[in-house]
Amino acid sequence: MTDELRDEPFEVDVTRSDIVYNGYVWDVREDTFRYGGTSLVRHYLDHTGAVAVVAVDDDDRVLLIQQYRHPIRSRDWEIPAGLLDVQGEDPRAAAERELAEEADLTAEHWEDLGSFAVSPGGSDEFIRIFLATGVRPASETFARDAEEADIRARWVPLDEAVQAIAEGRVHNAAMTIGVLLADRRRRAA
């Protein structure tokens, strides 16, 4: 059964698709489509997609960053991440860029941990998560503004990050998925 448990692509007849709100970062799209013999209308965030990076150092610590996230009114702990907003940019190159921009780091080794639908009932966003090891300071540092201006970075033992997830003290989905997959990979090695 395990091999059979997978999401199944499914095409529907979309009879109309319009952007009903053009936003600063993403848009809201309205689709009218036929499903099960009836016509349905759904609104969702039309998103560029994103990447996230689980950076693990030689001491089995994961880099977590904390920044303000207005929709949840919280400074949440996350992993470095960002939008796929450069036309034609390879996701791994975007992950490398985001690690440098948000944490002033580079990595020697990269592994694709997978792609995850963030909120499939309300957004078409997928986040591709990468594991970065052989981490070292970048040759240049980046100026940050807005919510990124006061990013806090902390190297946390992987076991401690897993414990914070298990105890419900942290809530960021990309961080949760990335840390748990990195921990699973470490335990399997």
* 134: its two tokens: 């052989």
| Rounded CA Rg of the chain | 18
148 is catalytic: yes
Beta strands, E only, 36-187: 38-46, 50-55, 61-69, 74-78, 81-83, 105-117, 126-137, 152-157
Q: Which of 89, 101, 111, 148 is catalytic?
A: 148
The letter for the amino acid at 115 is: S
Report the C-alpha gap between 112 and 77 in whole angstroms. 21
Q: Which residues have a catalytic role annotated? A: 148
